[in-house]
């Protein structure tokens, strides 16, 4: 099933609405998956999700700088906590990779949330997730905070 949403564009349904999306992070442009969760049995997209995406695109540069700093800090703290040696010369973009952005089901009317998924060599099983609520980072942890 496919739809053309007036904000998200052409989406295909595979457990949620998805499409490819280009994002620059850590000075690298990459193709990732944009995912929008349906909110009812008809998998409808709500205005809160659309507004969250509009704000994400409008403030993308600032959001990405904030995410880069948060992911770097989380990565370094996580490595230290598990005793993983860190190569100070290694670029963060070589050890973490952005793979997707999600606009989850709306749980609270009016609330705007989204999250970014990263694969990370320090925790290949769980990766890194960055969750935003109403324009601010709510949490940086493993990817399961976003599902």
How many C-beta atoms surround the C-beta of residue 112 within 10 A?
A: 21
Return the SS3 of 82: helix
pLDDT band at 85, cuts 50/70/90? confident
Domain boundaries, the chain: 2-146
* pLDDT at res. 89: 63
What CA–CA distances, in Å, run from 81 to 76, 88, 121, 137? 9, 16, 14, 22
Q: Are 94 and 86 in contact (CB under 8 A)?
A: no
Q: Are strands 17-25 and 136-141 parallel, antiparallel or unpaired?
A: unpaired
Place of tokens 């007036």: 6
Global pTM reads 0.93
16: pLDDT strictly greater than 90: yes
- pLDDT per residue as tens digits for the range 111-127: 999 999 999 999 999 99
Q: Are strands 2-5 and 128-133 parallel, antiparallel or unpaired?
A: unpaired
């Amino acid at each position: 099933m496919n739809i053309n949403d007036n904000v998200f564009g052409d989406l295909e349904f595979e457990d949620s609405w998805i499409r490819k999306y280009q994002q620059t992070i850590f000075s690298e442009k990459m193709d990732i998956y944009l995912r929008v969760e349906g909110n009812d049995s008809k998998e409808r997209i709500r205005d809160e999700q659309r507004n969250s995406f509009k704000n994400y695109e409008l403030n993308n540069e600032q959001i990405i700088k904030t995410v880069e700093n948060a992911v770097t800090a989380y990565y370094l703290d996580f490595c230290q906590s598990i005793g993983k040696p860190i190569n100070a010369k290694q670029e963060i973009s070589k050890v973490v990779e952005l793979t997707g952005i999600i606009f989850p089901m709306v749980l609270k009317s009016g609330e705007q949330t989204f999250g970014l998924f990263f694969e990370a060599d320090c925790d290949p099983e769980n990766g890194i997730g960055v969750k935003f609520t109403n324009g601010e980072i709510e949490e940086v942890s493993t990817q399961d905070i976003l599902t």
